[in-house]
Structure 1
Amino acid sequence: MKIATYNVNGVNGRLPVLLRWLEETTPDVVCLQELKAPQEKFPAQAIQDAGYQAIWHGQKSWNGVAILSRRQLPQELRRALPGNPEDSHSRYIEAMIDGILIGCLYLPNGNPAPGPKFDYKLNWFKRLTAHAETLMAQSTPVVLAGDYNVMPTEIDVYKPERWVDDALFRPEVRAAFKDLTNQGWTDAIRKLYPEEKIYTFWDYFRNAYERDAGLRIDHFLLSPQLAPRLKAAGVDRHVRGWEKTSDHAPVWIELADR
């Protein structure tokens, strides 16, 4: 099974890019973030015509997450993290596909830090970690995939000294990611490529993509039941070079059959 995650940065504005990539790579499951579309404006028919069934949680102008599947209609389990019923941001959706629980997430950016947005990010991270702990206690194989908006280590960021005060790289955020993985989750990319420079995001400014001034902020975390099935992983970096593309590139893993 091939599972991908892709922050599309506007699903309707980037629809030609998304459809081109789906046709080129045909992943079995896709987690999308930053739809930037209300629920009724999700391009469901175009996605279906491309061979995918989908569930999604939209939000006007911002956020938004979706899970696409070539195999079967994702069986939705939840569309919000527990822990704050007042939270209106559409940043999490969860479904079962072929016996695997897929959690698709879009963690808050948190800038400027310190400040209310940074506090919201840390609180959201705590809720994610608490929910992940309950998932870890189950016997179900789990993938937590998406845009985490965190570079876990210095190897995950171009010129880390320039990012020390940014909400994506502050010590509190990196510690929160470590607390999460310490539950027993496997960072799929780092499992297969422990020392390599791998980026998933390049800013639109200052020719970041051309200079390879990137960040690794899109991650796959695998539960212990699933980690032994990891066969391959990578970044479709070339998609970031397409016209009118997202500032993220798609990231993917391949899992062996049970």
Structure 2
Amino acid sequence: MAKRKDASALRIATFNVNGIKTRLPHLLQWLAREQPDIACLQELKALDDAFPIAEIRDAGYGALWMGQRSWNGVAILARGMDPIESRRGLPGDKADTQSRYLEAAAHGVLVGCLYLPNGNPQPGPKFDYKLAWFDRFLKHAQHLLDAKQPVVLAGDYNVVPTDDLDIYDPKSWKKDALLQPESRERYRKLLAQGWTDALRTMHPGENIYTFWDYFRNHWPNNRGLRIDHLLLSEELAPKLRASDVDRWVRDLPSASDHAPTWVELAMSTPAKKATKKSIKKVAKKA
């Protein structure tokens, strides 16, 4: 296994695998090459008992996961340890059974792994669900921020923040739920709470994408969208060292339409060994 170039930093990544069974070889190859300390996965598209925990443990990772048949599903992997679960499911609607949010502590930070609803077609019930889920997420995110703990909210947000830098050409996507004013307004509200968009902060004027669909040669022509985001709490934002996209994964045969997106934080050894008690108290107040 190759050593990561900067092993002193804490690397946290998000990766919509678009099917854990189909893309397991890609996932394992990526884990071996890039060695993220924490990896948040979305769209497992598998039940809990089909999660490949043996293979992931063999790769050096502990894991938590919440599956669902044929669609959705999220997981948190932690290198060299088992992540400590703090929340399973987004609060605010006990009737919501979709597997879209998982939260855990690992390596001194609290990580929220999310797969925000797509919302298409819109208008309609799927878009209404997207906005309602987003409103619940806004409330929970504010709670996490108020707790003054090191938190990362990582996942597929299904929101393209802007027309100018976050999408190759918005014209053909104007009716898509990912670009609707209501979706973007909620993302802006999230940032206004005090969260830092790591990828955009490190690439302020760059057209940088995390998703390329399977149609019309969008990947070879770099016609992408930025919908996978890592947001840092005020405690972590000053530690931001780097953030980027592992584009090589998208170029693999039969790849996911997303590429892993990551952030590196300059974390001291004491910070990495933050006590379980200080992290767990965030969940108890939710």
CA distance in 1, matches of 2:258, 2:16: 6
Among candidates 163, 185, 206, match of residue 196 of structure 1: 206
What are structure 1's unaligned runs of at least 5 residues? none
| Letter of the structure 1 residue corresponding to residue 249 of structure 2 | V
Among candidates 182, 185, 193, match of residue 183 of structure 1: 193
- Alignment partner, residue 112 of structure 2: 103
Do 2:13 and 2:39's aligned partners in 1 also have CA atoms closer than 8 Å?
Answer: yes
- Alignment partner, residue 181 of structure 2: 171
Do 1:99 and 1:140's aligned partners in 2 also have CA atoms closer than 8 Å?
Answer: no
CA distance in 2, matches of 1:14, 1:161: 31
Deviation at 1:163, TM superposition (A): 1.6
CA distance in 1, matches of 2:18, 2:118: 13
Deviations 1:110-147 (A, max 9, x none): 00010000000000000000000100100211000000
- Alignment partner, residue 79 of structure 2: 70
What is the count of residue pairs matched by the alignment? 258
Do 1:94 and 1:101's aligned partners in 2 also have CA atoms closer than 8 Å?
Answer: yes
Which consecutive aligned stretches of 4+ in structure 1 deviate over 6 angstroms post-superposition?
Answer: none
TM-score by length of 2: 0.89
Do 2:156 and 2:229's aligned partners in 1 also have CA atoms closer than 8 Å?
Answer: yes
CA distance in 1, matches of 2:17, 2:166: 20
| Letter of the structure 2 residue corresponding to residue 77 of structure 1 | S
RMSD: 0.7
Q: What secondary structure, in the 3-state scheme, does the structure 2 residue paired with 1:202 have?
A: coil
Q: What secondary structure, in the 3-state scheme, does the structure 2 residue paired with 1:69 have?
A: strand
Q: What secondary structure, in the 3-state scheme, does the structure 1 residue paired with 2:44 have?
A: coil
What are structure 2's unaligned runs of at least 5 residues? 1-9, 269-286
Are 2:12 and 1:12 aligned?
Answer: no
Deviation at 1:158, TM superposition (A): 1.2
TM-score by length of 1: 0.99
CA distance in 2, matches of 1:151, 1:34: 18
- Alignment partner, residue 161 of structure 2: 152
Q: What secondary structure, in the 3-state scheme, does the structure 1 residue paired with 2:89 have?
A: coil
Deviation at 1:161, TM superposition (A): 2.1
| Letter of the structure 1 residue corresponding to residue 156 of structure 2 | D
Deviation at 1:164, TM superposition (A): 1.8
Deviation at 1:177, TM superposition (A): 0.3
Percent identity of equivalent pairs: 59
